[in-house]
Amino acid sequence: MSLNTRLDALKERHASLESRIFDEDQRPRPDTEALMRLKLEKLRLKEEMERLRTRVN
């Protein structure tokens, strides 16, 4: 898998997590533990995307 392909896949996953976080946060009683896990995963993806961007450029 090329770096650009991997980066695109990570961007899609990041967007999906953003949507899941929004949906969970809109519930009447959001699951705070689930939100923390989703946000942590989103942060890890963002960090990996930044590492890959520095390698691509």
What is the domain range of residue 31? 3-56
Which segments in the chain show pLDDT lower than 70?
57
The pLDDT of residue 48:
96
pTM: 0.86
Distance separating alpha carbons of residues 57 and 54, to the nearest angstrom? 5
Distance separating alpha carbons of residues 7 and 50, to the nearest angstrom? 9
Q: b/e map of 30-41 (b: 16 or more CB within 10 Å)?
A: eeeeeeeebeee
The pLDDT of residue 40:
98
The pLDDT of residue 55:
82
Overall domain count for the chain: 1
Helices (H), the chain: 3-26, 32-56
